[in-house]
Structure 1
Amino acid sequence: MLSRADIEAHMPHAGASCLLERVVRHDMRTIYCTTRAHLDPANPLRRNGRLDMVCGVEIGMQAAALHGGLHRQAGGPRIGYLTTLRQVSLAPGRLDQPQWGTLQVRATCEQADEQGMRYHFSVESEAGAALVTGHGFVVLQPQGQQA
């Protein structure tokens, strides 16, 4: 299990922008995380006091970024840019509801090469209800062109 400090060390998100709290387990293909950041009144994605369900996409893709950071092979970390979302499904309602409990977040790498990665992500309630699912495509900045 990875702590919050370990998580921030392996991804570009830090402080309040890091929406993941724990890594339960991970392997070369999939990462499983948990969070209660959706219940934090100071969540930076809140607008007008609410956190819409679509914000779960950011949580899912942060898990993908963390997975990439943990499993990056030769050349060290690289900057990646989310370019496309596909087949996104959102449950009705809001993400900031206490009944969801601790969110269960999974990101699975479906394809990866030197140019980028494709991840499937899901965010579920503590009881297993599907809240947000989809596919995200990340393009990696070429080696030597880091900002």
Structure 2
Amino acid sequence: MLSRADIEARMPHAGASCLLERVIAHDVQTIHCTTRAHLDPANPLRRNGRLDMVCGVEIGMQAAALHGGLHMQTGGPRIGYLTTLRHVSLAPGRLDQPQWGTLQVRATCEQADEQGMRYHFSVESEAGTVLVTGHGFVVLQPQEQQP
């Protein structure tokens, strides 16, 4: 299990921008994280006091970024850019509802190579209600262009 400090050390998101709190399990293909950041009034994705369901996409793709940081580094960390989202499904309502409890965040790497990665992600409530699902495509900056 990885703590919040371990997570921040392996991805570019830090402080309030890091929306994952704990890694429950991970292997070369999948990662399972948890968070209660959706209930934080200081969540940086809130607008007008609300956290809309679409913000779950960011949480899901942060799990994908963390998975990449844990398992797909050749030659050190690389900058990646989310280029495409597909088949995104959002439950009705808002993400910042206490009844969702601790969110269960999962990402599965479906394809990875030197140019990028494709992930399936899901965000579920503590009780198992599917809130957000989709596929995200990340393009990696070429190694020679890394800072």
Q: Distance in 1 between matches of 2:129 and 2:142?
A: 38
Instruction: Report the alpha carbon displacement of residue 73 of structure 1 after superposing the two structures with TM.
Output: 3.6
- Please report the TM-score for the alignment, with normalisation by the length of structure 1: 0.99
Per the alignment, residue 110 of structure 2 pairs with 110
Encode CA deviations 1:23-53: one digit per residue, 9 max, x unaligned. Answer: 0000000000000000000000000000000
Two-structure CA RMSD over aligned residues (Å): 0.6
1:4-25 CA-to-partner distances (Å, cap 9, x unmatched) read 0000000000000000000000
In structure 2, runs of 5+ residues without a counterpart are none
1:56-92 CA distance string (max 9 Å, x none): 0000000000000001242111000000000000000
Using the TM superposition, name which of 53-62 and 70-79 deviates more: 70-79
SS in structure 2 at match of 1:118: strand
Structure 1 distance, partners of 2:117, 2:23, is 20
Deviations 1:80-137 (A, max 9, x none): 0000000000000000000000000000000000000000000000000000000000
TM-score w.r.t. length of structure 2: 0.99
Task: Provide the rounded CA distance (Å) in 2 between the counterparts of 1:33 and 1:113.
Answer: 23
**How far apart are the structure 2 equivalents of 1:73 and 1:96?**
33
Q: CA deviation at 1:144?
A: 1.6
Give the Cα separation in 2 of the matches to 1:60 and 1:73: 20
- What is the deviation of 1:141? 0.2
3-state SS of the aligned residue for 1:50? Answer: coil
Q: What SS does structure 1 have at the residue aligned with 2:76? A: coil
Query: Matches of 1:73 and 1:41 in 2, distance apart?
Result: 34
Take 1:16 and 1:104, find their aligned partners in 2: how far apart are those partners? 19
The alpha carbon displacement at 1:146 in A equals 1.2
Q: Which runs of 5+ in 1 are unaligned?
A: none
Deviates more, 1:65-74 or 1:133-142: 65-74
Give, in whole Å, the separation in 1 of the partners of 2:12 and 2:56.
18
Hey, which bits of structure 1, 4+ residues long, moved more than 6 A?
Answer: none
* Mapped partners of 1:26, 1:12: distance in 2: 19
Aligned to 2:45: 45
Query: Aligned partners of 2:73 and 2:82: how far apart in 1?
Result: 20
SS of the aligned residue for 2:12 comes to coil
